[in-house]
Amino acid sequence: MTRLSVNINKIATLRNARGGDMPNVVRVALDCERFGAQGITVHPRPDERHIRYKDVFDLKPVLQGEFNIEGYPSRAFIDMVCTVIPAQVTLVPDPPGVLTSNAGWDVIGYTSFLTEVVAEFKRKGIRTSLFIDPAADQIRRAAVTGTDRIELYTESYARGYASDRVRAIAPFSAAALVAVEEGLGINAGHDLSLENLKYFSKNLPGLLEVSIGHALVCDAIYLGLENTIQLYLRQLNS
């Protein structure tokens, strides 16, 4: 069964727009779990424009499911993750000012750096995942770093789904086969939605987890959070 991890960054964005504590990030995360999500994802950035470092520390003691922290492995990020000890850390190559993740790692160019970072997290017992494009050479090099999983960056699939879903999924299906050959677990995320999720999950061998935030929160405005999470779970595993 593919697990659904709900990225709650957009909830924090809404809270921060007015100050105060509404909506309450911790309560929404607990509701997501109560409504069936198997994980919660956060991506604290240096400017704390959505998830704050304090949110990460507030969430860890109360979550029952999997806690996944995404981010660029700066020293401050590494220290925070090694203090919090989530179930999983997902490393992304975002520079500090980027609006949203827009590329996977050049693992070939950063093999030494990523190997050192992955080893530091694994010494703490934290499962590691590298955010990566569906490229066979990058996936094979990812295995060299010692990472446990990769997270496939799915923006190109989402962009191409409406016009030619067979063509859009092809590089991801091929990438998944390479990951399985290399002994890597497979996660996926970015622009996955109720429209394109089922086809993606049915055509990606070995898919363990998807992380979905923006589309899910947008759907929840119209459909309600509980109903939306159930709809996403149905798309994943029906």
Neighbours of 37 (CB within 10 A): 25
What is the pTM (predicted TM-score) of this model? 0.95
Angle at 213 between CA 143 and CA 238, to 5 degrees: 80
pLDDT in the model for residue 238: 82
Domains of the chain: 3-237 (3.20.20.70)
Query: pLDDT digit string (tens) for 102-141?
Result: 689 999 999 999 999 999 999 999 999 999 999 999 999 9
pLDDT single digits (tens) 219-232: 999 999 999 999 99
Per the residue annotation, which of 33, 151, 190, 209 is the catalytic one?
190
Catalytic entry in 33, 43, 66, 209: 43
The Cα 64–Cα 204 span in angstroms is: 27
Q: Which of 33, 66, 70, 209 is catalytic?
A: 70
Is 43 annotated in the active site? yes
